[in-house]
Amino acid sequence: MNKTAFGCLIAALVAALALSVLFNMAQFAALMGQGIAGLAQPKEKLLEKVEVPGKAGATDKIVHLDLEGVISSMNVGGFLEQALPSVDAMKRSLEQAVEDESVKAIVLRINSPGGEVTASDIIYAAVKKAAAVKPVVVYMDSVAASGGYYVACGATKVVASETTLTASIGVIMDSVNYHELFNKVGVSSQTFTSGAFKDTGSGARPMREDEKAYMQDLVNRMYDRFLGIVSEARKVPKDVLKSTVADGRVVTGRQALEAKLVDKIGYIEDAYTWARELGSAPDATIVKYSAEPTLLGALGLAAARAQSPAKVELNLSSQALPKLQPGMLYYLPGSFVH
């Protein structure tokens, strides 16, 4: 074998080895991203970016967090995690802010119409837990309705803009009935169930009266919990709320103030000022959190995509909202269902 051929062979072997190492690292990163059963994963420390500088030399901080879009339990992971109001991402951010002694208060900006009942409740509980340790000031942006308002009830204080749309205190469950369409085209559905309510909500047949009562009871129970949380947070009796703003309506920030659903009218700067006051940190720097991009994370995302190729669709009619699932309970205004 001549030197040229030998050199090419060595280069090919090195390249193959490098590709093998990268592939194994990607597989390992994907596995770590999913979590290994029985092994605790170390917490990833979020990076800080200065949003509003404080006084020179000041070490105190106010953390600004964002809850944006429809609240969902779906975890995207990777680089897209910061683009959705992930339950885990919000909990992680709140925990780091609470554990950091230099953080004196938290400002949570909410720009969300709400979302899934359980996801909203989990974030509300995380906000309330944080507020028991450090002041949490919620700033309501364009919309903080239904599940968005539910989350706000966990805060220490709530600021809304004059033009904020909020409240929408209520629960909604949607289903589509298409059995008459089936009849027209000559299609039928045969379902075998283990109980009378197992296929409740199926659109292939009319809903029975006992099923309607059953579904309404589920909605009423979730509504009663929502009502109780608002009543406790805002110190307004449940019967007063039910007879005024807790009928599902959306109100402006000014109307919310009059109904005692918020504490003050203002802008994000007013929320910062209030957080500094409540945290006794007048010179504090306002910072935002972001996840640190890593090579393993990038390789893991690439490996996950390689295993499950994504289909890209562009649907302008959906208004970039996630598809709402029939039969699932949501804290959302009715206009977001259809």
Q: What is the pLDDT of residues 315-338, one digit of tens each?
A: 444 444 455 666 567 777 766 655
C-alpha span between 166 and 249 (Å, rounded):
9
Average model confidence (pLDDT) for the chain?
82
What is the per-residue pLDDT for 6? 58
Average of per-residue pLDDT across 194-215: 89
What is the per-residue pLDDT for 35? 47
Whether residue 194 has pLDDT greater than 50: yes
Most confident of 169-183, 269-283, 287-301: 269-283
Pick from 117, 108, 133: which is nearest to 272 by CA?
108
In this structure, of 7-16, 78-87, 172-181, 236-245, the range with the lowest mean pLDDT score is 78-87
What is the per-residue pLDDT for 226? 96
Most confident of 54-63, 196-205, 284-293, 297-306: 54-63
Q: Which one has a higher pLDDT value, 78 or 131?
A: 131
Whether residue 12 has pLDDT greater than 60: yes
Average of per-residue pLDDT across 237-242: 96
So which residues are the catalytic ones?
A: 146, 198
C-alpha span between 242 and 250 (Å, rounded):
14
Q: Which one has a higher pLDDT value, 258 or 28?
A: 258
Q: Are 247 and 274 in contact (CB under 8 A)?
A: no
In this structure, of 168-182, 242-256, 274-288, 321-335, the range with the lowest mean pLDDT score is 321-335
Size of the chain in residues:
338
What is the per-residue pLDDT for 184? 82
Q: What is the pLDDT of residues 56-104, one digit of tens each?
A: 888 999 999 999 999 988 755 444 444 445 799 999 999 999 999 999 9
What is the per-residue pLDDT for 316? 42
In this structure, of 89-103, 109-123, 265-279, 302-316, the range with the lowest mean pLDDT score is 302-316
Q: What is the pLDDT of residues 172-187, one digit of tens each?
A: 888 788 878 877 888 8
Dihedral sign from CA coordinates of 101, 80, 170, 172: negative
Q: Are 104 and 134 in contact (CB under 8 A)?
A: yes
What is the per-residue pLDDT for 170? 93
Q: Which one has a higher pLDDT value, 193 or 275?
A: 275
Which residues lie closer than 8 Å to 259 by C-beta, 6 or more apart?
A: 167, 236, 244, 245, 251
**Which phi and psi (to 5°) does residue 50 adopt?**
-70, 125
Average of per-residue pLDDT across 32-52: 66
C-alpha span between 63 and 44 (Å, rounded):
17
Q: Are 265 and 253 in contact (CB under 8 A)?
A: yes
Q: Which one has a higher pLDDT value, 191 or 337?
A: 191
What is the per-residue pLDDT for 325? 63
One-letter amino acid for residue 199 of the chain: D
Q: Domain 44-173+232-294+308-336: which topology?
A: 2-enoyl-CoA Hydratase; Chain A, domain 1 (3.90.226)
In the structure, what pLDDT confidence band is assigned to residue 108 with cuts at 50, 70 and 90?
very high
Q: What is the pLDDT of residues 146-165, one digit of tens each?
A: 999 999 999 999 999 999 99
What is the per-residue pLDDT for 229? 97
Q: Which one has a higher pLDDT value, 39 or 98?
A: 98
What is the per-residue pLDDT for 84? 46
What is the per-residue pLDDT for 191? 85
What is the per-residue pLDDT for 315? 46
Residue 277, both tokens: 């006051």
